[in-house]
Amino acid sequence: MSLNHPSVAIVGATGAVGTELIACLEQRDFPLRSLRLYASQRSAGRSLMFRGDGLPVEVLTEDGLAGADIALFSAGSATARGFAPAAVGHGAVVVDNSSAFRMDAGVPLVVPEVNEGAIASHRGIIANPNCVAIIAAVALWPLHRAVGISRVIAATYQAASGAGAAAMAELRNATGAYLAGRAFAPTVLRHPYAFNLFSHDTAVDRDTGANGEETKVVQELRKIMQAPNLPIGITCIRVPVLRAHSIALTVELARPIPPAAAREILAAAPGIRIVDDAEGNHYPMPNEASGQGDVLVGRIRRDGSDPSGRSLALFVAGDQLLKGAALNAVQIAERLIM
């Protein structure tokens, strides 16, 4: 690999995460030698701006990935399984945003603020975690490292961005129709979206009662945090927010610590911004999390339901398209060239 100025390819460049990948590379002044953009046949011929120039969007082929040093994939599991091995065969390191390789024991699953060292163990593919797992891990890891976490209970409030650009468009259109008194039939998500919330639309396991999103988050958090037996209970809900996921976390620690001490631990951790103003009732909100890379953490308090005093409650919010996807992938790429 050309460590100083790699050639970079983006697979899935026209999607919601793909366009954020391009923006992140530009905004962070990533020192690349060249950038090539790939998507499906229907996007071929489009041009996307990067550093003042229009770059053509090419049809993805195995041979087209030859010459890339780093390939950032954000095109779904089937595309990743079909093309990532070919990119690796051509000499690229793949950072994949899909779920295709996340639980492969030979593929590191990386949140740089948590387990940057795992990058060195890659064999050509590095997995970008689920967006909820990334946002939760950034907030949980400092407490786990400092005190130890023995249990996590979580409820998520997941934005339309987690289901892609089409779901974001459906939320906009459904909201406009609702306010105008017009009927609107959802086509992207199963349920009406405007002024509504519903369980994350993934298949429910009959034995556990957990849906696919909940299962992914549990498995991935355990892998990222190297805590394979950590008890985690989670309920994932889709809410009518365009972008930025929020999570209510209740964390049982190995020993009691005051909320003020937890706040200090979190405030000193990378990737976190404390938003915890009780007097102003100002806590993490998705509209303030959107468009920036920090995970906002607040409402840090004792969990009154735990008589042992070892549990804390907190609320976090993070941009699903940035820290939950594109930014995390670019941060991984940055570590590859250090």
Distance CA 260, CA 28 (A): 33
In Å, what is the CA distance from 98 to each residue of 53, 223, 257?
Answer: 28, 16, 37
- The rounded distance, in Å, linking the Cα atoms of 159 and 285 is 12
Checking DSSP bridges between strand 34-39 and strand 295-302, what pairing results, if any? unpaired
- Transcribe 297-323 into DSSP letters: EEEEEE-TT-TTS-EEEEEEEE-TTII
Spatial contact of 94 and 126, defined as CB atoms under 8 Å apart:
yes
Residues 204/210/211/215 CA torsion (nearest 10 deg)? -130
Angle at 153 between CA 149 and CA 158, to 5 degrees: 120
Q: Nearest CA to 141 among 265, 234, 255, 299?
A: 265
How far apart (Å, rounded) are the C-alpha atoms in residues 161 and 243?
A: 5
List active site positions. 131, 245
Within 13 A of 198's CA, how many CA atoms are on the CB side? 11
Q: By C-alpha distance, which of 336, 324, 337 is closest to 97?
A: 324
